[in-house]
Amino acid sequence: MNSRWQKEHQVPEVDIDLFVNDWQLRTNNRSNYRLIRTYAEQCGDCFDWFIEPLTDEEKEQIHPMMTPLSPNMPVTQNGIHAWSGTPNLGISLMRKAVKENQRLAAEKGALFMFETKALQLTTLDGAVTGLIAQAADGSFMEIAAGKGVILAAGDYSRNKEMCEDLLAECADLIDEGDWSGHGWDGSGIRMGVWAGGRLEPRPQPSAGGNYSFPGFDTVGSTACLRLNTHGRRYSNEGFGNHVLAALPGARQPNGMLWSIFDSNILNEVTYQAPCNASFDYTDAGRLARMEASLAKARENKGSLVMNKDQAGDERPLCCADTMEELAAALYSDQKDRQNMIDSVRRYNELCAMKQDPDFGKEPFLLHPIQAPPFYASGQYKNSHKPYGQSMKILVTVGGLLTDEYQNVLGHDFEPVKGLYASGNCCGGRFGLHYSTSIPGQSISMAQTLGRVLGRYLACQPQLSQ
């Protein structure tokens, strides 16, 4: 937020005071205010620094999400804020920027020891003095720390034991199956604990694992009517952001969740708040994929059409001319079909009233489903088989407890001398789950706080060996 690049692309400025207080509301004041404040104040400058090695032509490929902003975009949903304009580099350009910055760092004397694995920190009188590592050829080495050791080894979403122990809410919701994520094995966090560091309290936060919602990739987090496997509405579909609104989905009976909408969907998506999983209606490619999916469903009315998202997961989409026909396509049980028809009728009544006493959805998000043809986008929710955006973890975003300088705290809540944690090794950032007011904040925070910590340590004295 507030980068020079964003100002040049007419992205509105973010009020830092408002942003940080909104963040603390999201996390129930569980996040370290000073860490979040530092991130908010410096992430714009960090982004400008990060893209410096890119050419002007490459910088022009960066797209400010949801810009120009739709006048329909909510400033708040149930009192929770969101901001647009995240610079979207795409994966290939992001990798290019990382590699170019590594090259510049190496030119300035940084040493990258790839394929060398840190195994254990060394300590003396309670202070961290360095680490033991193993090279690719199997040999061991001891590396002495100059000013400290920074644990920036990623998350623990690939460590089943740590996930089951630390992600208590997810573990309680998921009965069996592989719900691990795409990240790392938690070795950095474990080394910090072994050296005397204190873990962030449980349940630690993760991106995913405790929610399920239909419509992902097809309509994003658009607040369309959502029905469970028995055709009943179960939530305020537009509460806060896609994670908060999707939490009730994880508590529904196992089976298909459906997002129901009509032919006004291209307008409906413009009422969406920017967040992770939001549908960027200013992205021509994203719009084209949606229109192609809807066209495919129309060509196969009354049948479930499987759509593959960018991650390779397949989700059903269905189209029909009447709600009765749509219900017949989605539900085999006659009672469930009638439940769906009744739920849509009730929802349309609430939209006409511009009031939702059933679940508290805000009036500006209450839009009737009445322009045929009608559509349903599905997501299979199963506590025995986590899948995609349903009960599956992307990454964990909790870790070691630190102070505002990212100095790891020990069992007496005092800093452990010489030990620091950044990125997804650092706790005290996301509270109970990854709920963001701007898309991409996990990556942005890792970049920003890593840079901040590097600058801080550069000004510190050498550790006495």
Q: Domain with 289 in it: what CATH number?
A: 3.90.700.10
Can you give the CATH number for the domain in which 151 is found? 3.50.50.60
Cβ count within 10 A of residue 459: 7
Same domain, 361 and 314: yes
Residue 443 in domain: no
318-351: b (≥16 Cβ within 10 Å) or e: bbbeebebbbbbbbeeeebbebbbebbeebbebb
Same domain, 373 and 237: yes
Measuring CA to CA, which residue among 249, 226, 265 is closest to residue 361?
Answer: 226
Same domain, 153 and 260: no
Same domain, 290 and 365: yes
CB-based contact 35:428 (threshold 8 Å): yes
Residue 104 in domain: no
- pLDDT (0 to 100) of residue 310: 66
Token pair for residue 50? 């990060």
CB-based contact 382:254 (threshold 8 Å): yes
Same domain, 291 and 243: yes
Is the torsion defined by CA of 357, 359, 362, 368 positive or negative? negative
Residue 333 in domain: yes
Residue 439 in domain: no
- pLDDT (0 to 100) of residue 182: 86
Q: Which helix (H) or strand (E) holds 87?
A: strand 87-88
Residue 315 in domain: yes
Name the phi and psi angles at 72, rounded to 5: -85, -15
Range(s) of the domain holding residue 267 = 225-381
What's at 165, amino acid-wise?
D
Measuring CA to CA, which residue among 269, 274, 226, 271 is closest to residue 251?
Answer: 226
The set of long-range contacts for 310-315, using a CB threshold of 8 Å and a minimum separation of 24, is: 310/217, 311/217, 311/388, 313/387, 313/388, 313/389, 315/214, 315/216, 315/217, 315/218, 315/377, 315/378, 315/379, 315/388
Residue 183 in domain: yes
Same domain, 320 and 294: yes
How far is the C-alpha of 314 from the C-alpha of 330, rounded, in Å? Answer: 16
Average model confidence (pLDDT) across the chain: 95
How far is the C-alpha of 259 from the C-alpha of 157, rounded, in Å? Answer: 29
- pLDDT (0 to 100) of residue 278: 87
Same domain, 316 and 359: yes
How far is the C-alpha of 92 from the C-alpha of 101, rounded, in Å? Answer: 14
Residue 64 in domain: no
Stated pTM of the model: 0.94
How far is the C-alpha of 11 from the C-alpha of 2, rounded, in Å? Answer: 8
How far is the C-alpha of 368 from the C-alpha of 349, rounded, in Å? Answer: 8
- pLDDT (0 to 100) of residue 275: 82
How far is the C-alpha of 154 from the C-alpha of 150, rounded, in Å? Answer: 12
The residues, any chain, with a CB within 8 Å of residue 357's CB and separated by 6 or more, are 350
Indicate the number of domains in the chain.
Answer: 2
Boundary (domain end) residue, out of 352, 381, 410: 381
Helix orientation angle between 323-330 and 334-353, rounded to the nearest 10 degrees: 140
Same domain, 230 and 377: yes
Taking CA atoms, 219 is separated from 46, 238, 376, in Å, by 31, 13, 10
Residue 216 in domain: no
Same domain, 411 and 310: no
How far is the C-alpha of 277 from the C-alpha of 222, rounded, in Å? Answer: 9
CB-based contact 98:443 (threshold 8 Å): no
Q: Per-residue pLDDT for the chain (465 aa), expressed as one digit of tens each?
A: 999 999 999 999 999 999 999 999 999 999 999 999 999 999 999 999 999 999 999 999 999 999 998 999 988 999 999 999 999 999 999 999 999 999 999 999 999 999 999 999 999 999 999 999 999 999 999 999 999 999 999 999 999 999 999 999 999 999 998 888 889 999 999 999 999 999 999 999 999 999 999 988 899 999 999 999 999 999 999 999 889 999 999 999 999 999 999 999 999 999 998 888 889 999 999 999 999 999 999 999 999 999 877 666 788 999 999 999 999 999 999 999 999 999 999 999 999 999 999 999 999 999 999 999 999 999 999 999 998 889 999 999 999 999 999 999 999 999 999 999 999 999 999 999 898 899 899 999 999 999 999 999 999 999 875
Same domain, 346 and 402: no
Q: Residue holding tokens 């810009």? A: 67
Same domain, 193 and 240: no
Query: Strands, E, within 209-360: which ranges?
Result: 225-227, 255-261, 305-308, 314-320
Same domain, 178 and 242: no
